[in-house]
Amino acid sequence: MKTITIEIRTQYGNTVAYPACQAAKLFARIAGTKTLSSQALKDIQALGFDITCFNSQNTMELVK
């Protein structure tokens, strides 16, 4: 299974996912954004990708 890596940050009280690998950056470019929304992360998972987090926060909070 393929994996993408993201970095979760808090920006102005909102939790956002920044792409941290080439595949994640490609998905963000396809989406036309600098960050990956929770819906984009759900769609990426539906395509068969695992999502790992660069920092220690839980990625599942964004994919709910």
| Mean pLDDT value across residues 14-37 | 94
- pTM for this model (two decimals): 0.82
28-38 pLDDT tens trace: 999 999 999 99
Query: Is pLDDT at 12 greater than 80 in this prediction?
Result: yes
Domain ranges for the chain, please list them: 3-61
pLDDT value, residue 24: 96
- Look-up of token digits 């989406």: 31
Kindly state the tokens that stand for 4.
Answer: 């993408």
